[in-house]
Amino acid sequence: MSLIWRCGRHEIVCGERTLVMGILNPTPDSFSDGGQLATVEAALERAVHMVGDGADILDVGGESTRPGSEPVDEEDEIDRVVPVIERIVEAMPDVPVSVDTRKASVAAEALRAGASIVNDVSSGGDPEMFGVVSGHGAGMVLMHMLGEPKTMQEDPFYDDVVDDVHAYLDGKIEAASAAGIDRESLCIDPGIGFGKTLDHNLRLMKEVAGFLDLGRPLLVGPSRKRFIGTLLDVEVDERMEGTAGAVAWLGSHGVHVVRVHDVKEMVRVVRVVDAIGGA
C-alpha cells in the first residue's frame, strides 16, 4: 500500500519502491564521516554525487547524536547546516532536503533556507518544534530515543522493546497531530541504536513490519551502526556489507525509507530487493 508523505512543496510517494535517504554530516565529530565535509563546497559535491547515485532525499545534520556525544550550540549548528541546505536547494530544487536536528531554532532556519523535512531524534522534545514544523507545512520524522545521546546507551531497559517503541511512536503521532501537524506530513523511525542493546536492535528489525499498522511511512537508519560492528567485529569503515544485509531485510519487510551513508551501494541493494518482491 502506498502512502503520501507531504513535506512542504514535495509530495513523496512511499511504498511503490524502497526510498533511499542519503546522510550528509557537515560536522567534525560525526561517528562515521566526521570532518570529511568541512566546507560547503565539499558538502554540495557529496550531495550531487548522492543524488546521481540514486538518493531520493538528502538529510543534513550539524550535531552528532552518536552515543556519548555532547550537545552543540544552536548558532554553531545553524552555521553548519544552513549554508549547505541553501546550496543544495539552489542546485537541486526538486530533491527533498531534511534537516537532522533536535532544536526548533535550527529547524526554523533550515526550513527558511529551503529544507522541507525535520528529522528530529527527540520527536518534539523541544516544546517549540511542533509549532515550527506546522507553521512551515513541513514533513517530520518522529524517532524513538531512550534518554539523551550522551547517556542513552547506559543500560537501556524495556518491558518489551517492540511494544514500548510502538506505543511511544503512536503517542508521538497523536501529539504532533494535536499540535497542528498534518498526519500525512509525519514519518516514523524506531530509532535503531538510540538507547538500545544489540538484542533490542535485532528484535526491532526482525519485527519491523509491526510498525506499519501506525499508518505512516516507516524510516529506518541502520547504516554503519555499532550493532553491525558488534556482530561482525569490524570498525566503522568496514560495515558496508553488514549495512547492506540490514537494508535488504528492512526493504523486504515493508520499510519505506532507509537512511544510509553509502548511497550507490544501497540503492543497488533495494533495487534488487524491490524487483524480487514485485515479481
**Which burial class, exposed, middle or buried, applies to 162 when counting CB atoms under 10 A from its CB (0-12, 13-18, 19+)?**
middle
Write the CA distances from 185 to 27, 200, 217, 262, integer angstroms: 27, 28, 9, 26
Give the residue carrying C-alpha cell 546507551: 153
Q: Is 150 a catalytic residue?
A: no
Specify the 3-state DSSP secondary structure of 14: strand
The one catalytic residue in 17, 216, 225, 226 is 225
* Alpha-helical segments (H) within the chain: 40-52, 74-91, 104-112, 129-136, 161-178, 198-206, 226-232, 240-252, 263-277
DSSP 3-state helix, strand, coil percentages of the chain (rounded to 5)?
45, 15, 40
The one catalytic residue in 6, 17, 172, 259 is 259
Q: Is 206 a catalytic residue?
A: no
**C-alpha Rg value of the chain to the nearest Å:** 17
What backbone phi and psi angles, to 5 degrees, belong to 5?
Answer: -110, 110
Residues recognised as catalytic? 225, 259
